[in-house]
Structure 1
Amino acid sequence: MNFCPFAKPVVNAGRVDYKVINERGVEQALMALSDQLSYLVNNDHVETSLLIYPQGLESFDDYLDFAAIADDLLLEEGYEGVFQIATFHPDYCFEGQQQDDASNYTNRSPYPILHILREASIEAALESVSSPDKIPSRNIELARAKGLEGMQALLTACQST
């Protein structure tokens, strides 16, 4: 649905690194994040990375706790201003929203995911978009226009591939 207006060129250019992390423990999951941050530092041809955690972070609350620790790790390892982490989860729910609000689907995914983004790339991409501050509200409108059933169908289709 083009929720991220910057993603398509990066995906089409093959500059996304996808890693499935099958570790269930928090320490191992964080080590995978640390390893991926180092990998990105040494591989400029990779624009962005998705760390996919199919097991161990099924609970949204546990995932949010893990994401907070992941942000702390990013800072501890000196990557503030270099990378940032975006969060996606099958049960994502924005604070203050009802669980069944279609807008939550802008951050829902088949599995828990940490999306590592290069901050310099985000800044450059934002310069090429008019009114970037309106992207979240546009996404909410798109998701709500599609409706809960439509958004559920899209996520289900992703899970079956």
Structure 2
Amino acid sequence: MTDNAVSLNQTRDWVKRFVVARDICPFARRELDRDSIHYVAVSARSFESALLALIDECRRLDDDPGIETTLLVLTQGVADFDDYLDLLGLAEALLEDQGYAGIYQLASFHPAYCFDGVDESDPANYTNRSPSPMLHLLRETSIERALVGFAHPERIPERNVRLLREMDSDRLAAGINGTEALEVRQ
């Protein structure tokens, strides 16, 4: 199995076992069940090629309404979180420059994700930690539709932080890396 295939399989497993099973994103289960999540492996050794792949995926979303969301799994080049943040900043600027602001939203995930001002050992960081660095493209209209029928969507991050802080950090790390099933500590 190639490194790309391993990364994509780990990501699919993470979406199912962590994001959906723990209800980290309450909208993900529907898309998983509908098989409308597109996964693509992209090297970020060259920021330019990674950014071109991002725009290609925006065009794919433009052309294929059956794809609800795309996870660009960055297989190389941004293992360092600061390098990843540099790429993320360029990606956000590129979406705006190419006229995709307001059409697609970019969410970010990285194995070493750490919120600004939060200790890196805080389990809250696991809301954005993933097996591989990735850029997540979401349709803005779909987000808006989903939020209309959802009571208090602003509470989702608070709920996730509370849930993850109740979990053992070692088990969280093992679950993100696919070595152990995640279970809430009693």
- Are 1:119 and 2:147 counterparts? no
User: What is residue 55 of structure 1 aligned with on the other side?
Assistant: 76
User: What is residue 132 of structure 1 aligned with on the other side?
Assistant: 153
- Are 1:14 and 2:35 counterparts? yes
User: What is residue 36 of structure 1 aligned with on the other side?
Assistant: 57
CA deviation profile, 1:36-95 (whole Å, cap 9, x unmatched): 111110111100000000110101001011001000010011011100100000000001
CA deviation profile, 1:125-151 (whole Å, cap 9, x unmatched): 111211100000000001101131221
Structure 2: which amino acid aligns with 1:93?
A: C
TM superposition shift of 1:23 = 4.8
- Are 1:156 and 2:173 counterparts? no
After TM superposition, the score normalised by the length of structure 2 is 0.83
Identity of aligned residues (%): 42
After TM superposition, the score normalised by the length of structure 1 is 0.95
Aligned Cα RMSD in Å? 1.2
Whole-Å separation in 1 of the counterparts to 2:177 and 2:60: 31
Structure 1 runs, 4 residues or longer, greater than 3 Å off: none
8 Å CA contact 1:110–1:158 kept in 2: the answer is: no
User: What is residue 6 of structure 2 aligned with on the other side?
Assistant: none
Unaligned runs of 5+ in 1: none
User: What is residue 14 of structure 2 aligned with on the other side?
Assistant: none
